[in-house]
Amino acid sequence: MKYILIMILSISLHLGASEKFEDIKIQYFKSYDYELLGKYNEAIKVLSPLYKKYPKGYTLNLRFGWLFYKSKKYADAIIYYKKASLINGYALDPRLGLIRVYLDIHSFEDAQNVASELLKIDYYNYYANIYMIQALNAQKKYEVSLKIINKMLALYPTDISYLELLAVVYKQTKSLRLEKLYENILILDPNNVYVHSN
Domains located in the chain, CATH noted: 1-91 (1.25.40.10)
pLDDT in tens, 131-185: 999 999 999 999 999 999 999 999 999 999 999 999 999 999 999 999 999 999 9
Contacts of 89 (CB under 8 A, 6+ apart): none
The residue type at 170: Y
Sign of CA dihedral 74, 84, 38, 53: negative
Per-residue pLDDT at 44 exceeds 90? yes
- What is the pTM assigned to this prediction? 0.84
3 or 115, which is more confident? 115
Dist. CA 20–CA 12, nearest whole Å? 7
pLDDT score of 24: 84
pLDDT in tens, 88-143: 988 999 999 999 999 999 999 999 999 999 999 999 999 999 999 999 999 999 99
